Structure 1
Amino acid sequence: MVNNTANGKKLSFSTKEMVLTAMFAAIIVVCSWISIPIGTIAITLQTFAIFCVLGILGGRNGLFSILVFILLGAIGLPVFSGFKGGIGVLTGPTGGYILGFIFMALIYMAGEKLFGKKLVVQIVLMLAGLAVCYAFGTVWFIYVFSKDGNSMPLSKALKLCVTPFIPFDIIKLVLALIITDRVKKHHLI
């Protein structure tokens, strides 16, 4: 595919980029199926996959991999944790965390353009994106939980939906950075 540019911005995808975008969407799917249930929300490898996607493909192509993953789930394919799919998952209590992956990619993409691709920049951008994903997902969780007249204070939502997952997500971030470095170092992609 020919890559057109307007004002120095790339407008289309190469064949390689399309294949990698689809391949990494599939990797996100597989990682979402690997889960350990803890209370209302399961620990999955989704965030690990998102970190790898962003680190390897970059913000732009990573964003499109995430969008493909979410769209596949939205049309009903069982791509989300627990082999679930459909709009009901996205509008349910944990849907905000899934949609928060989009914000992670947007933050990464913007930061990449502003600050480059150094390791420290990657770490800061991934942590900032994760914090925004947590914030958006938690607000969404409180909203959905409270729609039926139930009470869900912020402190309880954080205790249920964020605090238990922080150590695991930090470990996933470190592992993703190691894998990303190895893939780039050996020109595997």
Structure 2
Amino acid sequence: MNYKKIPVLSLGLALLILGSYLSFYLPFTTVPFTLQVLFLFLISLFFSPMETFYIVFSYLILGGLGIPVFAGGRGGLNILFGATGGYLFGFLLGGITISLLKRYSEILALIFGIFVIYLLGSMWLSIAIKIPYTKAILTGVLPFIPYDLLKGIIALTIWNKLKTHIKSNS
């Protein structure tokens, strides 16, 4: 790993944490609405798969150690392995998925990445709070699809501007 990239990787981690603080709960679900997905999309588009792994894994480690980096300023193993833990681990696999697939199609990469997050999150939610999987889909996936599509559009717009700027400065 290029150690000169650590400050930039730290910025990615800081954005992911910031996204968790920009959160609120909908009355019918235990899953918070956050801006983490927007920042995860940007991180995954900007960084390599390994760098994306480092950023998200660091986030999970910090939160697991009790540092209040998860949604609502919470932290600890009870959150990491609680009802929304599948979404948190989904960020790791979803981010890597996006980063790996972006060279083929950035749009499809984001779609596959969010699918991974939804799949892991909803399965975990169903098991963690002992609800039918269909209810986990209804409360932990469907309400978030329009917002995550919007986050994807915003992320692609920002990324395309950044990508153009980065190429012109190279």
TM superposition score normalised by structure 2? 0.91
**SS of residue matched to 2:48:** helix
Please state how far the C-alpha of 1:37 moved relative to its aligned partner: 1.5
**Larger Rg over CA atoms:** 1
Match of 1:102 in 2: 92
| Distance across 2 between alignment mates of 1:160 and 1:166 | 11
Which AA in structure 1 matches 2:31? Answer: I
Q: Structure 1 stretch 38-47 or stretch 158-167: which is displaced more? A: 38-47
Structure 2 stretches of 5 or more lacking a match? none
Q: Is the 8 A contact 1:104 1:133 kept in 2?
A: yes
Please state how far the C-alpha of 1:36 moved relative to its aligned partner: 2.5
Please state how far the C-alpha of 1:59 moved relative to its aligned partner: 2.1
Deviation per residue, 1:92-133 (Å, 9 max, x gap): 000110110111123234435xxxx25xx1111121111111
Q: Is the 8 A contact 1:22 1:68 kept in 2?
A: no
| Distance across 2 between alignment mates of 1:52 and 1:109 | 10
Q: Select the residue among 31, 34, 40 that pairs with 1:44.
A: 34
Please state how far the C-alpha of 1:22 moved relative to its aligned partner: 1.3
Q: Select the residue among 78, 100, 106 that pairs with 2:68.
A: 78
Which AA in structure 1 matches 2:144? Answer: F
Match of 1:136 in 2: 120
Match of 1:10 in 2: none
Q: Is the 8 A contact 2:21 2:70 kept in 1?
A: yes
| Distance across 2 between alignment mates of 1:126 and 1:43 | 18
Q: 1:109 to 1:130 in 2, by over 3 A?
A: same
| Distance across 2 between alignment mates of 1:159 and 1:131 | 15
| Distance across 2 between alignment mates of 1:105 and 1:172 | 14
Equivalent residue runs for 1:1-189 within 5 Å: 13-39=1-27, 40-112=30-102, 117=103, 121-146=105-130, 152-187=131-166
| Distance across 2 between alignment mates of 1:172 and 1:16 | 29
- Output the aligned Cα RMSD: 1.6
| Distance across 2 between alignment mates of 1:16 and 1:52 | 20
Q: Is the 8 A contact 1:60 1:105 kept in 2?
A: no
**SS of residue matched to 1:92:** coil
Please state how far the C-alpha of 1:56 moved relative to its aligned partner: 1.2
Q: 1:186 to 1:109 in 2, by over 3 A?
A: closer
Structure 1: which 4+ aligned runs deviate by more than 3 Å?
none
Pairs aligned (count): 166
| Distance across 1 between alignment mates of 2:135 and 2:98 | 29
Which AA in structure 2 matches 1:21? Answer: L
